[in-house]
Amino acid sequence: MAYDLDSVRSQFPILSEKVHDRPLVYLDNAATSQKPQCVIDAYDDVYRRVNANIHRGVHHLSNVCTSLYEDARKTVASFIGASDASEIVFTRNTTEAVNLVANSFGNKFVNPGDEVVLTVLEHHSNIVPWQLLCQRRGAKLRVVDIRDDGSLRLDQLGEMLSQKTRIVCAAHVSNVMGTVNDVRQIARMAHAVGAACLVDAAQSVPHFAVDVNDLECDFLAFSGHKIYAPLGSGALYARRHWLDEMDPWMGGGEMIDKVSFAGTTFAEPPLKFEAGTPDYAAAIALAEAIRFVQKIGLDNIAGQDEALARQTIDGLQSIGGIRIVGTHGPHSGAVSFLIDGVHPYDASMILDKMGIAVRTGHHCAQPLMERFSIPGTVRASFGVYTSKDDIDALLNGVERVKQMFA
Residues near ligand PMP, by CB under 6 A: 30-31, 93-95, 123, 125-126, 171, 175, 200, 202-203, 223, 364
Distance separating alpha carbons of residues 163 and 135, to the nearest angstrom? 20
CA proximity to 357, closest of 106, 29, 28, 85: 28
Shortest Å, Cβ 406 to ligand PMP: 33
Task: Examine the residue annotation and report whether 364 is marked as an active-site residue of this protein.
Answer: yes
Sign of CA dihedral 322, 325, 331, 333: negative
- Identify whether the C-beta of residue 214 lies closer than 8 Å to the C-beta of residue 184: yes
Residue nearer to ligand PMP on the CB measure, 94 or 336: 94
Shortest Å, Cβ 256 to ligand PMP: 26
Beta bridge partners of 322: 339
Shortest Å, Cβ 404 to ligand PMP: 29
Shortest Å, Cβ 42 to ligand PMP: 20
Instruction: Centre a 10 Å sphere on the Cβ of residue 6 and count the other Cβ atoms it contains.
Output: 10
Residue nearer to ligand PMP on the CB measure, 75 or 126: 126
Residue nearer to ligand PMP on the CB measure, 117 or 393: 117
Residue nearer to ligand PMP on the CB measure, 104 or 332: 332
Name 319's Cβ contacts closer than 8 Å, sequence gap at least 6. 395, 398, 399, 402
Residue nearer to ligand PMP on the CB measure, 202 or 351: 202
Residue tagged active-site, from 38, 134, 169, 364: 364
Shortest Å, Cβ 368 to ligand PMP: 11
- Identify whether the C-beta of residue 202 lies closer than 8 Å to the C-beta of residue 222: yes
Give the single-character DSSP code of 316: H
Name 123's Cβ contacts closer than 8 Å, sequence gap at least 6. 94, 171, 175, 200, 202, 363, 364, 365
Query: Active-site residue numbers?
Result: 364
